[in-house]
Amino acid sequence: MPRDESGFALYQLHKSVGITILLLSLARLAWRLTHRPPPAVEGGFQGFLAKAVHTLLYAFMIGMPVTGWAVVSTSRIQVPTLLWGVIPWPHLPISRALHQVAEEGHELLAWIGIALIVLHVAGAIRHQLLLKDGLLRRMAPGGKAWAAFALLALVVAVYFGTGMKIAGDVVASGGYDRTESAAPAPARVPLAAAPTPTPEATEAAEEEEQAVEPGPPPAWTIQPGGSLGFTVTSGEDSYRGSFADWSGSIAFDPEHPETADIRITVNLASATVGDATMDGMLVGAEFLAASANPTATWRSTAVRRTGANRYSASGTLSLKGASKPQSLSFTLSGEGLRRHVEGSASIDRTAFAVGTGESAQGLGSSVALSFAFDAVGRAP
């Protein structure tokens, strides 16, 4: 998986874990306020310190995810949050001017959390090894001291091994604004140029076409199982996606391509890169705007042969309310009325206002399109 896609998924996981901790902490606090706690084991300064750490741990477990939630909600680039990739989670209705405060508070709480966990673990070790008062047995499931130690070790491992690593990546990358802008968007992809026919090949093809008066071209039916994909890049990273729902009407004679009439329709809402949040951004207003313009269409205006079983087609692409000239190239394999088609195109996304927000900053202007399908013809 490309680096940015992997990082994007990690931040979505980070948010899901944080919100889950927030909900569980609120439930635990509600239970604590409605149930009488067990009597304190010791008093004095040690007892006060234990109560202070206990209270601050509650503040940390609630404050940490709340400040993270605020960071995401005030980011310049509004990336939707899906809990565990399924449940939509809203943004807080707060001003974006609070973003820096929220980000600094989130980072500060991370370090406070380290201190509290160290104090909590140290206190547990003190009670178990020095005081030997059985406190861990009272805290642990089933009254087993080893179970309490195992839970403490798990908390420390998860916090330091996962949570702090992701938080450190956020700080190193310049904050959530920069990190979340890594969501994939259409970018420049180099395409192999269509082969240039030799003058001899072109002349021979034209003579062959003029020798026979063309009749109506066969009509072709696209068979199930075809693909319509796109590849986009940003820097050294690449992203691959596809459209799951598309169809076409094809009238085409391989021997007389000038008589072709090809029309392709694509359901823009079916675009996917394999991540639910990224897919939501891709079909949103900044990119494909699938709600306002649900389909894209391409219709040929001229098709010519460029070599053996190779063709170049000029046409018009209508996308997001704009219609612009768009060419593509394709090859045929097979014989008679059963053919396999493979082709590609390079689309200038800026001509169609695809990628207009801050999340598209720094991206190239081209998107590579590729397609492949089987077709069965019917003679006129």
> DSSP states of 270-313 as a string?
GEE-S-HHHHHHHTSTTTT-TTTS-EEEEEEEEEEEEETTEEEE
**Candidate from 124-133, 187-196, 201-210, 297-306 with smallest mean pLDDT:** 187-196
pLDDT band of residue 165 (cuts 50, 70, 90) is: low
Distance, in Å, from the CA atom of 112 to the CA atom of 94, rounded to the nearest integer, reads 25
Contact 315, 304 (CB under 8 A): no
CA-closest candidate to residue 341, choices 259, 241, 257, 280: 257
Report which of residues 134 and 301 the model is more confident about.
301
User: In the prediction, which pLDDT does 52 show?
Assistant: 85
Long-range contacts (CB closer than 8 Å, 24 or more residues apart) made by 332-338? 332/254, 333/309, 336/377, 337/218, 337/376, 337/377, 337/378, 337/379, 338/374, 338/375, 338/376, 338/377
Q: For residue 334, what is the enclosing H or E element?
A: strand 322-335
CB 271 within 8 A of CB 241: yes
Task: With a cut of 70, say whether residue 284 has pLDDT above it.
Answer: yes
Report the C-alpha gap between 66 and 72 in whole angstroms.
Answer: 10
Q: Which of 91-95, 148-152, 335-339 has the highest mean pLDDT?
A: 335-339
Instruction: Please give the Cα distance from 107 to 252 (Å, whole number).
Output: 62
Is 2:239 a contact under the CB 8 Å cutoff? yes
pLDDT of residue 46: 74
Contact 254, 281 (CB under 8 A): no
Between 8-22, 260-274, 318-332, the lowest mean confidence (pLDDT) is in 8-22
Q: Which amino acid is at 82?
A: L
The residue-averaged pLDDT of 303-308 equals 95
366 or 332, which is more confident: 332
Exposure string (b/e) for 158-196, b if CB count within 10 Å is 16 or more? eeeeebeebbeebeebebbbebbbbbbbbbbbeeeebee
Above pLDDT 90, what percent of the chain? 34
Asked whether residue 345 carries a pLDDT value surpassing 60, the answer given is yes
Structural domain 199-378, CATH architecture: Beta Barrel (2.40)
- Residue 16 forms beta bridges with which residues? none
